[in-house]
Amino acid sequence: MLMRTIGRFFSSAAVYSSMQQNLRIKRVSIEGNIAVGKSTFARLLQNARPDWEVTSEPISKWQNVHHMSQQSSSNLLQMMYQDPKRWSYTFQTFSCMSRLRTHLEPPSARLLQSRGTPVQVYERSVYSDRYIFALNMFELRCINSTEWAVYQDWHSFLVEQFGHQIQLEGIIYLRASPQTCMERLGRRGRTEEQGVRLDYLEKLHTRHENWLVNKSTEVHFEHLEKVPVLVLDVGVEFEKDPSVQAKLLTEVETFFSGL
């Protein structure tokens, strides 16, 4: 009896302490246009702060959707680019679910032992899934009104159900001109993106500006309206320039310390 009571106390103390740690964690997403340099910046951040947890966008899952009970898979990213009217809704359900899974993963032990405030960084979020990509596909008529209503219904439900577990404390918006993104996209040469045109990147750029800078995009979650946004100009080359890297990292550290 005594052992059971002690056991119960310790297990609830462990849960409590883990909850406390979770409450201390700052969750931040890196947002920005296609090929602006999010992964590159995320790597830079992870190298500078190995104690933080930086999670990449789950693109390989989208390129390899496993068919249950068959030894095959589909490249949904390619299907979406090749036939957006047919596949955009399917793509957005899958991308959003995979982002949700990423946001819900428990923090690693390394993160919980972080010096200072533990920071969890995600490349994009369930919010850009909706307010950048899905909305854009709806406006391009690649998602129809019924699909859009269905997407918004389950998206709002999930965000409300998971509450603080998927709330962000900050957003880092990497900004460069659509022309710069187009050049970087071309240089990277990802097969699926070969048909991406400048006007698509221009539309996505405007969506980012409206959501994160002008605040003219209607969002449906109170916490999201108040999230602080750090805008970083990454039009400059930073991959091989340590002084630009140091300046960007200082801006990020200052931003995080104020969250």
Ligand X SMILES: Nc1ncnc2c1ncn2[C@@H]1O[C@H](COP(=O)(O)OP(=O)(O)OP(=O)(O)O)[C@@H](O)[C@H]1O
DSSP state of 108: P
User: Which tokens in the block code for residue 36?
Assistant: 């602006």
Angle CA 159–90–66, to nearest 5: 100
Q: Is 80 in the site for ligand GNG (CB under 6 A)?
A: yes
Identify which of residues 84 and 118 has a Cβ nearer to ligand GNG in the complex: 84
How far is residue 76 CA from its own chain's centroid? 18
HSE, side-chain direction, 13 A CA sphere, residue 192: 16
**Interface segment toward ligand X; rule CB under 6 A; list 32-40, 142-150, 201-209, 221-229:** 32-40
Has 123 been annotated as catalytic? yes
84, 86, 90, 96: CA torsion to nearest 10 = 20
Q: What type of residue is 122?
A: Y
Instruction: Spell out, one character per residue from 129 to 168, where the chain touches ligand X: x when CB under 6 A holds, - when not.
Output: ----------------------------------------
Contact residue for ligand X among 21, 25, 26, 40 (CB under 6 A): 40
- Please provide the DSSP assignment of 186-219 as one string: HHHT-GGGTT--HHHHHHHHHHHIIIIIS--S--
Answer yes or no: is 81 a known binding residue.
Answer: yes
Spatial CA neighbour of 128 closest among 39, 27, 36, 224: 224
Report the C-alpha gap between 34 and 66 in whole angstroms. Answer: 25
Answer yes or no: is 129 a known binding residue.
Answer: yes
CB 95, min distance to ligand X, A: 12
- Catalytic residue, chosen from 31, 53, 105, 123, is 123
239 binds, among ligand X, ligand GNG, none (CB under 5 to 8 A by kind): ligand X
Residue ranges that bind ligand GNG, judged by CB under 6 A = 34, 57, 59, 77, 80, 91-92, 95, 129, 133, 137, 193
Binding residues are: 32-40, 57, 81, 92, 124, 129, 184-188, 193
Catalytic residues: 123
Binding residues for substrate are: 57, 81, 92, 124, 129, 193
